[in-house]
Amino acid sequence: MALGLLTSTSVAGTYLHHPMARTFAVLTSLALRALGTVSLSGTSLVYDGFGVQIVDACDGILPSIIYLSAVLAFPSRWRDKGWGVLIGLPAIFLINLARLVTLMLVGAAWPDLFEQVHIYVWQALVVALAMAVWVFWAERFVRARPVAGS
């Protein structure tokens, strides 16, 4: 909860959300450049005539915080938690990048479907994929270790 509250401050907006939104806008534009015409201004992105603005809620910070909270709360060694952070945060970053690229592709090809894919498909997918990353970490780095005395 504390991490969530910290990310809702204006300082977090300035030093975390806005830079992440800008980073995702740049990386999304680079990925889409190979497929069509892209225009980028700040966090506003236009691909083949379809435009969006990448806002704070789309920067991947919230699923990262949820994942980080789950890793930190799970009973495990600090070393294992470190592996969870090193594996999970980049994975969630890549999931969010894939989300943004596919949303732009859907928006350009089928603008009427954009909102449904944005709200119903990708929100559920981000949660499910973040959970899958957490399960992978817990199984591979925590549970796989033999218990002392067994």
108-141, pLDDT tens digit by residue? 999 999 999 999 999 999 999 999 999 999 999 8
Cα(140)–Cα(120) distance, rounded to whole angstroms? 30
Cα(101)–Cα(70) distance, rounded to whole angstroms? 27
Which range among 12-16, 30-34, 124-128 shows the weakest confidence by mean pLDDT? 12-16
Residue 118: what are its φ and ψ, rounded to 5°?
-65, -50
Reply yes or no on whether the pLDDT at 16 is more than 80. Answer: yes
Cα(68)–Cα(93) distance, rounded to whole angstroms? 13
In the chain, the amino acid numbered 63 is: P
H or E segment to which residue 82 belongs = helix 78-109
CB atoms near residue 26 (< 10 Å) = 14
Closest CA relative to residue 117, chosen from 102, 130, 135, 132: 102
Residue 47: what are its φ and ψ, rounded to 5°?
-125, 120
Which pLDDT score, from 0 to 100, does residue 150 have? 46
- The pTM of the full predicted model, rounded to 2 decimals, is 0.89
